[in-house]
Structure 1
Amino acid sequence: MKEMVRVMLKKKLMLMLGIIVMAASLCACGKNKPDKVADEPIPTLGPFATEEEKAEYYKKLTAHIKVEKANGEYEYDKEDNIINDKYRNFYQIFVATFCDSNNDGMGDLNGITSKLDYIQDIGYNGIWLTPITPAPSYFKYDATDLKAIDPQFGTEADFKKLADECKKRNITLILDLAVNHTSASHPWFMDVKANPGTSKYTSYYNITKEKLGETFYELGNGYYYEGEFWDQMPDLKLSNPEVRKEIEKVIDYWMGFGVGGFRLDAVIHYDEDNTEENVKILKWINDYTKKIDPNAYIVGEAWVSNGIVSQYYASTVDSFFNFDLGGSEGVVTQVARAPIGTEVAADYIPALKSNHSLVKKNNPEGIDAPFLSNHDMPRSHAFLNGDADRMKLAIGLYQMITGTTYTYYGEEIGMAGGGDQDVNYRMGMYWSKADNGQQPDSPQGATLTNADMTFGSVEEQLADKKSILNYTKRILQLKNENPEIARGEVSEITGIEDKEVIAMKKTYNGSSVIVVINTSRYPKEIKVDKSNGYKEIVGYATTDDTKVTIKDDTLTMAGNALVVLK
């Protein structure tokens, strides 16, 4: 009996062991099955999904896309192909807060000269200086002498050295020419105030016997003067031939140093609300300057919509800043900060094509002047919420626009600068975490410090392959290697239905490149048919140290990535 029980137990044990072995085998077989694209179904996205739910949705949707890491390597370096014309990469310098050469807390001309190699190494070949004339204010747009250099910034010899060093590097140096008004402390206006109605300079300004509006201020003896910006900046009467002679002397003075042209301040206020007259004044300034140097470059500040700016191009001034594309509400920013899964990027190419038509309508030689921010508005750090990837994307977006582009100092390192106070947009350039004496003091009243500069100093970012500074260098490298980017006429690439992808062809002088930008935060596989006329990748810029690769005619790109095909 015991023997029978022993045999039965043995059989049961063998059966159980067999079941265990079979189960283990089945599990092993399951492990060798091909991976699924997703182990669980991707949830649907409801119409009222939060940003967090959208992020999770797109993360799962794109999980199968494998983007290669670059590990700091880049295989597309080639020689620059820079054309010596007016299509340039300009760098705007607010002189007082850029670089201090003598440790007195004030930016100066010698400080700028010491940073020319830095500026050129990033990829810039143009510099715009804000005014350097003597003035009561720190911003210097209210000159007391239009033919002099403020001693805080340096001497005539210092400026001549800067101009000469720029020429050696083929950097076009342009100077802010603020001739809409003077300071109330200018000798001309001081005489007018001392002798209201009888001064020989009365006709230099817009003097009236009536107060014609809120921008007219009492002068005395029943006279009023116009000051469109404020009472300490009286407006000049630029239609007066005597005033024009004085302005021509001013142009002669600065051109004598070898500057390459001017940025014209506040041109819509030359004759308030009179576009036709302003165009005539601009034509006079443009023609006079180009009699001295036919290759001089002039850009105007007309802070109005592109439809009106188009009329200003009839002046034959080379460029006007594009306020519809830049700033906190411009097309570039709208695309860069678009919520997840939206189609805002679809507005980019139509905006570029429309703008190109408006520029060329009244001046076939006109050159657009795109920018992201300047000294009169918050920096991109503010309106892109300090998001480094979106700030990089915005840099790529505006630098791909046909024209002569402008970068405000500090944008290349993502400096902070927001709120309603202009002084916060003009902070001392953050050169180094250590106090090396080069960083000027920020303007009085500024509320930001280096601690607010989220992404670190120039010195720190140069050493970081993924920094905003090194991204900017890569973008400008692409432009300097491929002249079609700055000069090309835009056409849209067909066959790409993804509304988060920008794909455009830029054609110049019979040569074309294709620019593809993934404005999404997530990776994409993008098919670009070879019938669009390209052979290979010639360069790319990514925000996260990844590669852009192509197999057959399908690109694999990380979120925010940009690639150039040719």
Structure 2
Amino acid sequence: MKHAYLLPLLAGSLALACSPQPETSQQSPQGAASQWPNAVHYEIFVQSFADSNGDGIGDLRGLTSKLDYLQDLGIKGVWLMPIHPSPSYHKYDVTDYYGIHPDYGSMDDFKTLLREAHQRDIKIIIDLVINHSGKDHPWFQDAITGPDARYRDYYVWANYDSVASQLARKTVSLDSDNLTQWHEAPGNEQRYYGFFWGGMPDLNFDNPALKEEIFKVGRYWLQEIGVDGFRLDAARHIFPDDRPQDNHAFWVEFRQEMEKAKPDVFLVGEVWTPAHEAAPYLKGLHSLFNFDLGYAITRAVQSGQADSLVEEHQQIMRFYQSVTPDYIDATFLTNHDQNRIISELGGDIAKAKVAASLLLTLPGSPFLYYGEEIGMPGKKPDPNIREPFLWNLPDEDNIRTSWITPEYALDRRVRPLSLQQQDSASLYHHYRRLIHARNSSPVLALGSLRQADTRQAGVVSFVREHKGQQLLVLHNITPQPVSVALSETEKGFGRTQLATADGALLAEGIVNLPPYTSLILE
């Protein structure tokens, strides 16, 4: 039993220099440098992405029809938020780990998506929500029938008097109300544990039978269906916070079992905690989402202060390297649980461009949140950061979803993709060109990171290096133009590889950067 719970959370369009350049040793054919999982990923809430049948709800056939778009954007991996049957719009309260939500389509539709994605060299990972099930899952519906139920020990139970003595430790604030994490079940004297809310009872991983059941689920999706990996939701909450070593050990065992099923499986974990606490999870997971870097980029662009952004990233990398040198750093700006990046930046497209430039030139395997590339805004509550993707003008958009009336991603605020594709200075083209530049550069895709000697307030500057080749990267994150004198040691960087505005240039050892622009020098 898991009763240990009773023991002690840019301006301008991109240009590859001013005139066409021949391929150099720094470059390779588009996509050759960036190989999955060390590549750019795209997070999709299927419900909001593309509707193929006109019912207003995004579905797998709609997503399949947009794979060419993702391939052209330069995406090599797709993370699907939960696709399993569930009573909620978000689907994190799973009722069948082996099924596809009927609103999204059938298992045949999903297999078609996988086949078509793989033909385009795009991998698919799915959200696997195993910290908890939904309360409507047959396991839990059996468990609440009484202490002798077959699946009772798949969940965590405690007597009310034991719970009451621990409420001060186990109370959290959810949705602005003070709610206990122990919940009443009708007809039961005992209460069950649900870390997030009563609709998602935690599974009991002290029970070997439950653990094997979860391994079976993973094997099914990897071997029988053919997914390429999993995004593991709430990975630090498998066991309570005072049992971190048990959490780490579980993920080691999970990885071993999944690699037996699929040796090249990719496991990326949501461990929403500072990097020094997250790092030990890399003993079992190939990759972790780098929340600290996302916050650091956002703060820097909001304030126009470079501060210690590069040093912070280096510190995070040192934490990770202390556990394993083979980690994959899943970097991102914001995701489905956070206000969208452009809303955090006050709706400023120029700031959004330089934030994207930072993400896509720093080390890591970047994850983009759907709609980020067209500047979709959104602020909590959660449904309003998961609004429909804007493909075309309203009268011409026959694939836009309508399951929710948007409050932020409105046509008067966001130019749809079709219009941005016609404008070389759009945010969409900024993302696309940066992704293609990264995919074509071994140094940007795979290189190490060090702080540049050339430094100036308001300019984020760093050097990327891979197999003896180096790039000097400079980002002006302020609304004013700046001139930066290269240090003596870095005057050898004399050729522009990439500039995000015509006025970004190097002349006689001086780098001139217009507001919110970036320059990469060989």
- TM-score computed with the length of structure 1 as normaliser: 0.82
Contact 1:76 1:539 in 2 (8 A): no
Residues of 2 paired with 1:68 and 1:162: CA distance? 33
The equivalent residue for 1:433 is 393
Q: Does 1:165 find its partner at 2:165?
A: no
- Structure-2 change in CA distance of 1:275 and 1:513 (3 Å): same
Residues of 2 paired with 1:160 and 1:450: CA distance? 33
Q: Does 1:360 find its partner at 2:321?
A: yes
SS of alignment partner, residue 160 of structure 1: helix
Q: Does 1:549 find its partner at 2:508?
A: no
Residues of 2 paired with 1:387 and 1:76: CA distance? 32
Range that drifts further, 165-174 or 481-490: 481-490
Letter in 2 for 1:198: D
Residues of 2 paired with 1:83 and 1:415: CA distance? 26
Contact 2:47 2:59 in 1 (8 A): yes
Q: Does 1:478 find its partner at 2:437?
A: yes
Specify which of 306, 314, 325 is matched with residue 345 of structure 1.
306
Specify which of 315, 328, 335 is matched with residue 300 of structure 2.
335
Q: How does 1:271-310 map to 2 (within 5 A)?
A: 271-273=239-241, 274-310=243-279
Residues of 1 paired with 2:182 and 2:497: CA distance? 58
Letter in 2 for 1:387: D
**Unmatched tracts of structure 2, length 5 or more:** 1-11, 24-28, 168-179
Q: How does 1:5-154 map to 2 (within 5 A)?
A: 75-76=20-21, 79-80=29-30, 81-154=32-105
Q: Does 1:179 find its partner at 2:126?
A: no
Q: How does 1:370-409 map to 2 (within 5 A)?
A: 370-409=331-370
Letter in 1 for 2:360: Q
SS of alignment partner, residue 505 of structure 1: strand
Deviating beyond 6 angstroms after TM superposition, the runs of 4 or more aligned structure 1 residues are 67-73
Letter in 1 for 2:383: V
Letter in 2 for 1:132: I
The equivalent residue for 1:189 is 140
Contact 1:91 1:406 in 2 (8 A): yes
- Structure-2 change in CA distance of 1:216 and 1:70 (3 Å): closer
The equivalent residue for 2:171 is none
The equivalent residue for 1:510 is 468
The equivalent residue for 1:7 is none
- Give the CA deviation at 1:68: 13
Q: Does 1:247 find its partner at 2:214?
A: yes
Contact 2:376 2:414 in 1 (8 A): yes
SS of alignment partner, residue 498 of structure 2: strand
Residues of 1 paired with 2:442 and 2:409: CA distance? 39
- Structure-2 change in CA distance of 1:564 and 1:378 (3 Å): same
- Pair member with larger Rg: 1
Contact 2:496 2:519 in 1 (8 A): yes
Contact 2:143 2:153 in 1 (8 A): no
SS of alignment partner, residue 234 of structure 1: coil
- Give the CA deviation at 1:69: 12
- Give the CA deviation at 1:336: 0.8
Contact 2:231 2:270 in 1 (8 A): yes
Residues of 2 paired with 1:77 and 1:558: CA distance? 26
Contact 1:530 1:553 in 2 (8 A): no
Residues of 1 paired with 2:438 and 2:359: CA distance? 12
Specify which of 319, 326, 335 is matched with residue 287 of structure 2.
319
The equivalent residue for 2:421 is 462
- Give the CA deviation at 1:265: 0.1
Contact 1:275 1:312 in 2 (8 A): no
- Give the CA deviation at 1:489: 1.5
Number of corresponding residues: 484
- TM-score computed with the length of structure 2 as normaliser: 0.88
Residues of 2 paired with 1:547 and 1:518: CA distance? 12
- Give the CA deviation at 1:382: 1.4
- Give the CA deviation at 1:72: 12
Contact 1:68 1:548 in 2 (8 A): no
- Structure-2 change in CA distance of 1:71 and 1:238 (3 Å): closer
SS of alignment partner, residue 115 of structure 2: helix
- Give the CA deviation at 1:535: 4.4
- Give the CA deviation at 1:77: 8.1
- Give the CA deviation at 1:527: 2.8
Contact 2:135 2:141 in 1 (8 A): yes
Q: Deviations over 1:425-455 (max 9, x none)?
A: 00011111133221111437x5345245x23
The equivalent residue for 2:514 is 558
SS of alignment partner, residue 35 of structure 2: coil
SS of alignment partner, residue 108 of structure 2: helix
The equivalent residue for 2:197 is 230
- Structure-2 change in CA distance of 1:94 and 1:359 (3 Å): same
- Give the CA deviation at 1:172: 1.7
Question: Identity, % of aligned pairs?
Answer: 32
The equivalent residue for 2:174 is none
- Give the CA deviation at 1:398: 1.8
Larger RCO, structures 1/2 (Cα 8 Å, 6+ apart):
2
- Give the CA deviation at 1:524: 2.6
The equivalent residue for 2:170 is none
Letter in 2 for 1:506: R
Q: Deviations over 1:501-537 (max 9, x none)?
A: 2221111233222211122222233233574353411
SS of alignment partner, residue 433 of structure 2: helix
